Amino acid sequence: MSSDIAFLAEFANGAPTRAALELAAGAEELAGGSGGSAVALAYGPGAAGAATLGAAGASSAVVLGDDAAPAITHAAAAAATLRDLAPLALLAPATPNGRDLAGALVGLLGLPAFGPVRAVRIEGGTVRTEQATLQGTVITVSEPTEGAGRPAIVLVLPSTFTPREGGSGTAAVTSASAAAGPLGAARIVESHPAEAAVANLEEASIIVAGGRGVGSADGFAPLHELAAALGGAVGASRAAADAGWVPYQLQIGQTGKVVKPALYVGCGISGAIQHRVGMQTAESVLAINKDPDAPIGEFADLFVVGDLFAIVPKLTAEVRRRKGR
Amino acid sequence: MVCIKQVPATTAPKRYTADLRLDRAAAEAVINPLDEYAIEQALRLQESGAIESVGFLSMGPEQAGEALRRALAMGGDDATLVTDPDLGGADAWATARVLAAALDKLAPDVSLMGMASDDARGSLVPGAVAALRGMPLLSYGSELRIDGSVARVRRLTADGFDVVEAPLPVVASVTDQVGEPRYASLKGIMAAKRKPMETWSLADIGLSADDLHGAALSRVVEARKPEAKPPTERVEGVSADEAVTRIADWLAARKLI
Amino acid sequence: MTYRLTADHDELRAMVRELADERIAPRAAEIDAKAEFPWDLKELLAKQDLIGIAFPARFGGTELDNIGQAIVVEEVARADATTSLIVIVQKLAALPIMLAGSEEQHARYFPRLASGEWMAAFALTEASAGSDVAAIRMRARRDGDEYVLSGSKRFISHGSIANLLTAFALTDPEAGGRKGLSAFIVETDSPGFSAPRLEHKMGIRGSPTAELHFDDVRVPVANRIGEEGEGFALAMATLDRSRLSIAAQAVGIAQGALDFAVGYAATREQFGERIVDMQGIQFMLADMASGIEAARQLTYAAAAAVDADAPDLAYWTSSAKLIAGDMAMRVTTDAVQVLGGYGYVSEYPVERMMRDAKITQLYEGTQQVQRMIVARQLLRRAGVSRPSS
What is the least distance, in Å, from the CA of B196 to any CA of chain A? 30
Instruction: Write out pLDDT tens, residues C285-343.
Output: 999 999 999 999 999 999 999 999 999 999 999 999 999 999 999 999 999 999 999 99
List the single best residue of A82, A95, A100, A325 to mutate versus B (max B Cβ within 10 A).
Answer: A100
Identify the sign of the CA torsion C42, C46, C50, C52.
Answer: positive
Chain C CB within 8 Å of residue B251 CB = no
- pLDDT range class, residue B157, cuts 50, 70, 90: confident
- What pLDDT, on a 0 to 100 scale, did the predictor assign at position C93? 98
Q: Among all residues of chain A, which has the CA nearest to that of B121?
A: A116
Q: Do B186 and C15 touch (CB under 8 A)?
A: yes
- What pLDDT, on a 0 to 100 scale, did the predictor assign at position A179? 86
Contact criterion met (CB below 8 Å) for B72 and B56: yes
- What pLDDT, on a 0 to 100 scale, did the predictor assign at position A250? 94
DSSP C182-219: EEEEEETTSTTEEEEEE---SS-TTS-EEEEEEEEEEE
DSSP 8-state code for residue A216: S
Question: Is B13 a residue whose pLDDT tops 90?
Answer: no
Q: Which of C122, A294, A187 is nearest to B232 (CA)?
A: A294
Interface of B with A in 35-74 (CB under 8 A): none
CA distance A304 to B250: 12
Q: What is the dihedral of CA A43, A45, A51, A56, to 10 degrees?
A: -80
Largest Cα–Cα separation, chain B: 70
Q: Which of C172, C110, C118 is nearest to C147 (CA)?
A: C172
Q: Do B232 and A302 touch (CB under 8 A)?
A: yes
Mean pLDDT of A226-252: 94
Please give the ipTM for the structure prediction. 0.89
Contact partners, residue C108, CB within 8 Å, separation at least 6: none
How open is the CA angle C340-C341-C342, to the nearest 5 degrees? Answer: 90
Query: Which chains reach chain C with 3 or more Cβ–Cβ distances below 8 angstroms?
Result: B
**Percentage of residues of chain A with pLDDT beyond 90:** 77
- Burial of B208 per CB tally in 10 Å (0-12, 13-18, 19+): exposed
Q: Do A183 and B246 touch (CB under 8 A)?
A: no
What is the least distance, in Å, from the CA of A179 to any CA of chain B? 13
Contact criterion met (CB below 8 Å) for C177 and C139: no
Question: Which residues, listed in sequence order, are joined to residue B55 by a DSSP beta bridge?
Answer: B78
Entry pTM: 0.86
- pLDDT range class, residue C389, cuts 50, 70, 90: very low
Q: Sort out which chain C residues have CB atoms less than 8 A from B185's CB and list them.
A: 47-49
Catalytic residue, chosen from C75, C228, C230, C364, is: C364
Instruction: Write out pLDDT tens, residues C166-203.
Output: 999 999 999 988 999 999 999 999 999 999 999 999 99
Q: DSSP 3-state helix, strand, coil percentages of chain A (rounded to 5)?
A: 35, 30, 35
Q: Among all residues of chain B, which has the CA nearest to that of A272?
A: B10
DSSP 8-state code for residue A35: T
Question: Which residues, listed in sequence order, are joined to residue B222 by a DSSP beta bridge?
Answer: A141
CA distance C70 to C243: 11
Q: Do A193 and B8 touch (CB under 8 A)?
A: no
CA distance A242 to B156: 14
How open is the CA angle C227-C229-C235, to the nearest 5 degrees? Answer: 90
| Number of Cβ pairs < 8 A linking chain B and chain C | 24
Identify the sign of the CA torsion C242, C243, C247, C252.
Answer: positive
Q: Sort out which chain C residues have CB atoms less than 8 A from B234's CB and list them.
A: none
DSSP A285-319: EEEEES-TT-GGGGT-SEEEES-HHHHHHHHHHHH
Mean pLDDT of A180-193: 92
Reply yes or no on whether C364 is catalytic: yes
CA distance B121 to B123: 6
Q: Which of C26, C23, C67, C135 is nearest to C297 (CA)?
A: C67
Q: Sort out which chain C residues have CB atoms less than 8 A from B192's CB and list them.
A: none
CA distance B153 to B37: 14
What is the least distance, in Å, from the CA of B73 to any CA of chain C? 11
What is the least distance, in Å, from the CA of C365 to any CA of chain B? 31
Question: Is A227 a residue whose pLDDT tops 80?
Answer: yes
Q: Measuring CA to CA, how many Å separate A18 from each of A23, A157, A161, A278, C204?
A: 9, 12, 11, 18, 59
Q: Which of A137, A21, C22 is nearest to B227 (CA)?
A: A137
Q: Which residues of A135-171 are buried (b: 16+ CB within 10 A; e: fewer)?
A: beebbbbbbbeeebbbbbbbbbbbbbbebbeeeeeeb
